[in-house]
Amino acid sequence: MPKSPIVHADKGYDSNAIRNKVEGKGAMPNIPLKANRRWRICFSPFLYRDRNAIERMFGRLKDFRRVATRYDRSATNFLAAVCLVAIVSYWL
């Protein structure tokens, strides 16, 4: 995990083990609570809004079939395909 002051994740990652691992790396987890959680943990909806930009970026990359299904076997070729898609979808 790269150095970051805050880690955003969705409700699927709301577990004590994941929260402890993130805190062990020196970051603050900002994860919405599941409905069945007994103990309330700090969550900031204002900071969570930043995650939307990341989700939209992945959604735009997955519009290209080659990236969504990962046709390339080697990691180098796949990274090159992702870079080309990013250039086409964001720059052009």
Query: Does the pLDDT at position 90 exceed 80?
Result: no
DSSP letters along 38-55, please?
A: SS-----HHHHTTHHHHH
> Could you tell me the two tokens for 27?
């970051």
d(CA 25, CA 2): 9
pLDDT score of 2: 65
DSSP letters spanning 23-34 = HHTT-EEE-PPP
Widest Cα–Cα separation across the chain: 48
> pLDDT digits over 24-55, tens only?
988 888 888 888 888 888 888 888 887 887 78
From the CB of residue 25, how many other CB atoms can be counted at a distance below 10 Å?
13
